[in-house]
A and B are shown apart, each in its own frame.
Chain A
Amino acid sequence: MAEHTSSGGPTLEEGGETRRDFLYLATGAMAAAGTVIAIWPFIDFMNPSRDVLALSTADVDLSPIEVGQAITVTWRGKPVFVRRRTAVEIESAANVNLADLPDPQPDSARVKKPEWLIQIGICTHLGCIPLGQRPGDPRGDYGGWFCPCHGSHYDTSGRIRKGPAPRNLDLPPYQFVDDGRIRIG
């Protein structure tokens, strides 16, 4: 509209490289960049805050857990399964043909000490908590865990053996502080 006010000004036939176009593009680019920069704090605002991140480790005392028992602890708001496996369970977990597994992983890659299996207790299918921690729970066909939501069976190493779950139970990062304690996270 305003181009019509000056008669001697440059016209579009010059390829559009006029002062006005330059100013228009420069202003638009500045406005776009400024908007993007201004939006970032609003997005980051919704990310986990410092106090949430500070809760990202959990210490667990292993000494009260007898052989064959399991406990569930909370880490980052999720259940973590800690099971002190029996010799039979360790053996059955180790003697598995990896080619039979949907998500092949040797038992040795899933534990730091064979006696202690520590994994995130969330079914990798759709996020339910598998049964098998308590003595009376169904443990599925492979003696590990059984997810009641859609029937996934996990073995004594927490590996998926049957059912819709795509992956073995996830492992949290953890380390042994000493023989009787671990720090998750």
Chain B
Amino acid sequence: MSAPQWKNPIVRWIDYRMPIFTLIHHDLVDYPTPRNLNYWWNFGSLAGFLLVVMIVTGVMLAMHYTPHVDLAFVSVERIMRDVNYGWLIRYLHMNGGSMFFLVVYIHVFRGLYYGSYKAPRELLWMLGVVILILMMATAFMGYVLPWGQMSFWAATVITNLFSAFPVVGESVVHWLWGGFSVDNPTLNRFFSLHYLLPFVIFGLVFLHLWALHTHKSNNPLGIDVKGPQDTIPFHPYYTAKDMFGMAVLLLVYLAFVFFAPNFFTEPDNYIPADPMVTPHQIVPEWYLLPFYAILRAVPNKLGGVVLMFASILILFVLPWLDTSKVKSARFRPIYKQLFWILVVDCIALGWVGANRPEGVYIVIGRIATAYYFVHFLILVPLVGWLERPRPLPESIGAPVLGGGGAAVGATPKPMEKA
């Protein structure tokens, strides 16, 4: 990619001193992107869009929210009833969280299916896992802020997870609470961190993108870009495609915001927090249900907590657990089936997490939990050795351009001068 020549003298003046226009041109316009990306590649930009929506709506909400045990609940109700468009901003934020996780989970499973975590994209993947963990922490603390019954008991249960650790457990929990129970200091620090972490995530997203742009996007074939005939410029092809995806996402997102704003939440959270009474059924938000199921699958307190954290941390070492050199599941007949079993397994865990730990749910929960770890720790390494992958195509361009010959009039112009 040659540096563009800027015609506008002001642009040229700025760009000479700080090449921001060249950077934008390089990474958003001319940026060579595999020509065969499918719609599953939309979800990264959608996640970025939702992060911005969450930060903007969150900053707005903080202008009318009061982080105090006596005032938090009423300040949220005031936002809903008295503040202009408060209902809209709050519902955008509430449902935005669910949409964010939905989009990110699809993004993660896209990575699992097409082997996007493999060399040289291991760091890219690990940064993504860090972002996911921070998202969960942020979402949990945000859920506490309205100070309803579910907020209060979610805060109590989740912070008590740390009491499982021997010796230091109790001190750690008191440290988290800033007291001897979930109370005003807890609410204040959760508000502070809930405001801070999204900006940390924002920074990590830039590292994620830096790593991405170093080795460029993976693609549905999972083979490397061999030359300019395999790529098209990001603009207008993928900017247009991302905009289309964004429009579809907005349709789904706003359908919830306007027609079923409380679909994802528990009615109990519209009861002010009462430290003396626990609601009859405590369940986390849907996006944390699979982890909740893993927690409850183990009849030992410490064991459950350790397995739950391990279920996320295991993703960090996935690039080294997967022994197959072939990235895309399209050419891995056995792994492809395992992938779909894992999807079903995760949905089963979520379903178990939403139900009381009784009877059949305990059995299913334990089997699904065991399978989750068997998948990553045994099946993935083994299949990499045993499986015989199907032959890979010669290049990304070959199937569409007819045997990899020189493109006849179909290659976009900027590529020719590269």
Given known pairs A47-B84, A49-B82, the reply for A42 and B412 (CB within 8 Å) is no
Bound state CA distance, A43 and B340, in angstroms? 45
Q: Which residues of B contact A7 (CB under 8 A)?
A: 409
User: Is A44 within 8 A of B85, CB to CB?
Assistant: yes
User: Is A49 within 8 A of B412, CB to CB?
Assistant: no
Give the residues from 133 to 177 in chain A that come closer than 8 angstroms, CB to CB, to chain B: none
* Nearest CB of A to B182, in Å: 29
Given known pairs A1-B236, A1-B412, A46-B63, the reply for A41 and B82 (CB within 8 Å) is no
Bound state CA distance, A41 and B57, in angstroms? 11
Q: Which residues of A contact B236 (CB under 8 A)?
A: 1-2
A95 at interface, CB cutoff 8 A: no
Q: Which residues of B contact A42 (CB under 8 A)?
A: 56, 60, 85, 89
Q: Which residues of A contact B17 (CB under 8 A)?
A: none
> Of B63, B84, B233, B409, which contacts A1 at CB under 8 A?
B233
A51 at interface, CB cutoff 8 A: yes
Q: Which residues of A contact B404 (CB under 8 A)?
A: none
A7 to chain B: closest residue by CB:
B409
User: Is B60 within 8 A of A45, CB to CB?
Assistant: yes
Bound state CA distance, A50 and B409, in angstroms? 63
Q: Which residues of A contact B413 (CB under 8 A)?
A: 1, 4
User: Is B85 within 8 A of A41, CB to CB?
Assistant: yes
Given known pairs A1-B412, A42-B89, the reply for A49 and B84 (CB within 8 Å) is yes
User: Is B410 within 8 A of A49, CB to CB?
Assistant: no
Given known pairs A42-B56, A45-B60, A49-B64, the reply for A4 and B412 (CB within 8 Å) is yes
> Of A1, A4, A49, A52, which contacts B86 at CB under 8 A?
A49
Once A and B bind, how many residue pairs between them come within 8 Å at the CB atom? 48
Give the residues from 268 to 312 in chain B that come closer than 8 angstroms, CB to CB, to chain A: none
The interface residues of chain A, by DSSP majority, are classed as: helix
A5 at interface, CB cutoff 8 A: yes
Chain A residues with a Cβ closer than 8 Å to the other chain, count: 15
Bound state CA distance, A93 and B292, in angstroms? 77
* Nearest CB of B to A12, in Å: 15
User: Is A45 within 8 A of B84, CB to CB?
Assistant: yes
Given known pairs A2-B236, A50-B81, A51-B78, the reply for A45 and B412 (CB within 8 Å) is no
Given known pairs A42-B89, A46-B63, A51-B78, the reply for A5 and B412 (CB within 8 Å) is yes
Q: Which residues of A contact B64 (CB under 8 A)?
A: 45, 49
B83 at interface, CB cutoff 8 A: yes
Given known pairs A2-B236, A41-B88, A42-B56, the reply for A49 and B78 (CB within 8 Å) is yes
Give the residues from 28 to 61 in chain A that come closer than 8 angstroms, CB to CB, to chain B: 41-42, 44-47, 49-52
Q: Which residues of B contact A5 (CB under 8 A)?
A: 409-410, 412
Q: Which residues of B contact A51 (CB under 8 A)?
A: 78, 82
- Give the 3 A-B residue pairs with the shortest CB-CB distance, closest first: A41-B85, A50-B82, A51-B82
Give the B-binding residues of A (Cβ under 8 A): 1-2, 4-5, 7, 41-42, 44-47, 49-52
23 sampled A-B residue pairs with Cβ under 8 A: A1-B412, A1-B414, A2-B236, A2-B237, A4-B413, A5-B410, A41-B84, A42-B56, A42-B85, A42-B89, A44-B85, A45-B60, A45-B63, A45-B85, A46-B63, A47-B84, A49-B78, A49-B82, A49-B83, A49-B84, A50-B82, A50-B84, A51-B78
